[in-house]
Amino acid sequence: MWHYLVVVLLVILLVLCIPFDLVMAPKREFRIIDSNGNSITDAVVRQIWHQYSLGIREQIDLRPNLKGEVLLQRRVVKTNLITLIYGGIKQYKELGIHASVGSWESIGIFVNGLQDKWIHDGKGLESGILVMGKGK
């Protein structure tokens, strides 16, 4: 009987060690325009992505093309469940109730003379068009 228990535990351990791709930020495509519908090409677009359980934080600054279009690549890391579980436990041990686990993404859009805009986890980009407001 204990042989079956050992086999089950080994299978569980094996499954926990299988590597997989974890998406920290999906691919995003959008166009930046002003309140009159004109393309904004001189913006700075800053994408920041975190994976708290793994202790990853990275960022990149980009500029739109001549049509105001921005393409943010998909951000992926190879990991396994044991690493994620260990990282989550470590976060809770260090930070208690303030700990974060999981992935998070922010996108900042900065244009001279216009109000800065921050987007978190893609909320506000569903239409594929981002309208920048009036001055600061």
Q: Which domains does the chain have, with CATH numbers?
A: 2-131 (2.60.40)
CA 64 from centroid of its chain's CA atoms: 19
pTM over cut 0.85: no
- pLDDT value of residue 134: 67
pLDDT above 70 for 66? yes
* Cα Rg of the chain, angstroms: 21
pLDDT above 60 for 135? no
